[in-house]
Amino acid sequence: MQKDYQIKILMLFNELEKALGDMYALFAERFPEHNDLWQTLIKEEREHAEAVQKLYQLTYQREALFDEGIIKAEGVQSIIDYVKDMCNIARLEKYSAMQALTTAHDLEKSLIAKSIFNHFKVSPQFADMLRYLREGSQNHIEITKNELNKIQKEHKKKKVSCTLWQ
């Protein structure tokens, strides 16, 4: 059985996944030129939120074990607050596509976001589900980095071509 502070962390993990999905939905509206990325992230963050709920249930069924390690509820809450702040800034249209992609990449590679599912141990019948979730979290890092690299290359090309015409 999970302790109260572990339950709080699990609830915050769920809230974080939902907040990330909401942020990506906002980014999809604001920066439709990267819609494929945002839609992938939205879908997978929703899946991750559902998975956290499922894993939480499995801990009560003794099919999973959650060990928070060094993660504290306050740390997860601070990331949730940061995500909400970024949403507010984006709503005010004070955000560029480059900033949105950088924010997405930085959040995905943060210690908490990329390792949420590493804090679970599950019974063998749920091992494939957990592996899928871990790989999905790693994939978010890669796809945000790839999209960020594309936009950075485009900006460099534009900068070079502007310099050539001066």
* Tens of pLDDT, residues 72-98: 999 999 999 999 999 999 999 888 999
pLDDT band at 164 (very low <50, low <70, confident <90, very high): very low
Task: Give the pLDDT confidence score for residue 115 in this predicted structure.
Answer: 81
What value does the mean pLDDT of the chain take?
89
List the single range of 16-25, 61-70, 114-123, 152-161 with lowest mean pLDDT: 152-161
* pTM (two decimals): 0.88
How many domains does the chain fold into? 1
Polymer length in residues for the chain: 166
Question: Alpha-carbon distance 136 to 160, whole Å?
Answer: 36
Average of per-residue pLDDT across 105-122: 84
CATH number (domain holding residue 20): 1.20.1260
Question: Alpha-carbon distance 87 to 79, whole Å?
Answer: 12
Question: Alpha-carbon distance 82 to 88, whole Å?
Answer: 10
pLDDT band at 111 (very low <50, low <70, confident <90, very high): low
Task: Give the pLDDT confidence score for residue 118 in this predicted structure.
Answer: 87
Task: Give the pLDDT confidence score for residue 142 in this predicted structure.
Answer: 92
Contacts of 16 (CB under 8 A, 6+ apart): 76, 79, 80, 83, 112, 113, 116
Boundaries of domain holding 108? 4-164
Task: Give the pLDDT confidence score for residue 24 in this predicted structure.
Answer: 98
Task: Give the pLDDT confidence score for residue 43 in this predicted structure.
Answer: 96
> H helices of 62-126, where?
73-91, 97-108, 111-115
